[in-house]
Amino acid sequence: MRRAFIPPADTLIAFECAARHGSFTRAAKELHLTQGAISKQVRQLEDRLGVELFRRVRQRIVLTDAGRIYLHDIRGAMESLTSATRQVMSYAGSEDVLNLAVLPTFGTRWLAPRLSGFLKVYPKAGLNLSVRLQPFDFANESFDGAIHHGDPVWAGAIAEPLFPEDVIPVASPVFRDRHNISEPTDLTRVPRLQLATRPLAWRQWFDVAGVQTDVAFQGARFEQFVMISEAAIHHLGAALMPSFFIRDELAAGRLVQLFDVSLSQATAYHFVYPENRTLRPVVKAFRTWLLDEAHRAFASEDEVLPG
């Protein structure tokens, strides 16, 4: 890394803050400096770069084209530095910190309610959970492990199966009755809710149900199952949902299963971790606990899990 090309941090912070506010005065207030100090730091940065970042127009400042490009580029780096700093600060007071990448609905509906059980096994652990929807390279990320859905194909990682999945068609009782849904083919003429990360789901379900249709890909798209379940509860459309994510909604009658036709996957969820990295004690403990918890949940008669 050529340090000569890296400007002082205070000049970058002053520039970003001034650009965000469009004002040296408001930037000075946020950073608890004088307006003159902010102006001086920005000028030092411009001199170092050899380009003008702002145009001074009377009492206003306006980003130049070079300033807009530079602001866009450095914001990502500053956010990464902030995230890294917060993460390392989270180690304070913890014997060991576990950094996990999780799928949002899995993390919210299944994992989070059970994490107190892990902390009983490993009480001094610290936990950092972040959302990742797609596989990533462990070499470029600080995660110790991740929850993965789908085929156990993850470069440079070991994938341990957790449990299967049963995806069922659901809707609110009001939506079902309003649209007179009584057979699978009826779902071709009603609004269907689509999950962006599973674009083939409705097409696959119609195939299993023996329904021929050209409209399987139509419908409002959502990024997460949590959003889809709420939309379905509020009568926006029919949804395909993993049964164990909506156990409470089904039990309370907020959602109803429309048909006894499901998309089943023998091993849908996996715990993945780097294959060429020695697992720290906290990761080993979490792996053992998670596999046991998944087995126990799947085997329990009280759990509405796929079978």
What integer pLDDT is reported at residue 93 of this predicted model? 47
Q: Given its phi and psi angles, is residue 297 left (phi above 0), alpha (psi -120 to 50 degrees) or beta?
A: alpha
Ranges in the chain annotated CATH 1.10.10.10: 3-89
Does residue 161 register a pLDDT over 60? yes
Cα Rg for the chain, rounded, in angstroms? 26
Average pLDDT, rounded, for the chain: 88
What are the residues whose beta carbons fall under 8 Å from the beta carbon of 21, sequence distance 6 or more? 27, 30
Residue 61, judged by CB atoms within 10 A of its CB (0-12, 13-18, 19+), counts as buried
Ranges in the chain annotated CATH 3.40.190.290: 95-307
Write down how long the chain is. Answer: 307
Distance CA 216, CA 85 (A): 45
Does residue 90 register a pLDDT over 80? no
The DSSP element (H or E) to which 62 belongs, if any, is strand 60-63
5-19, 21-35, 199-213, range with greatest mean pLDDT: 199-213
Contact 211, 184 (CB under 8 A): yes
- pLDDT (tens digit, 9 = 90+) per residue, 232-284? 999 999 999 999 899 999 999 999 999 999 999 877 899 999 988 888 899 99
Does residue 228 register a pLDDT over 90? yes
Does residue 79 register a pLDDT over 90? no
Alpha carbon separation from 224 to 190, 195, 198, 202, 252 (Å, rounded): 21, 7, 10, 16, 22
What integer pLDDT is reported at residue 101 of this predicted model? 94
* Dihedral, CA of residue 234, residue 235, residue 237 and residue 243, to nearest 10: 60
Alpha carbon separation from 274 to 138, 140, 144, 285 (Å, rounded): 6, 11, 7, 15
- pTM (2 d.p.): 0.66
Q: 3-89, which class in CATH?
A: mainly alpha
What integer pLDDT is reported at residue 302 of this predicted model? 43
Does residue 305 register a pLDDT over 70? no
Does residue 83 register a pLDDT over 70? no
Contact 150, 204 (CB under 8 A): no
Does residue 20 register a pLDDT over 50? yes
Distance CA 42, CA 24 (A): 9
What percentage of the chain reaches a pLDDT higher than 70? 91
φ/ψ (deg, to 5) at 98 = -105, 120
Angle between helices 24-31 and 9-21 (to 10 degrees): 120
- Interval 212-222 mean pLDDT: 95
What integer pLDDT is reported at residue 177 of this predicted model? 97
In the three-class reduction of DSSP (H, G, I as helix; E, B as strand; rest coil), residue 58 is classed as coil
Does residue 299 register a pLDDT over 90? no
Q: 95-307, which class in CATH?
A: alpha beta
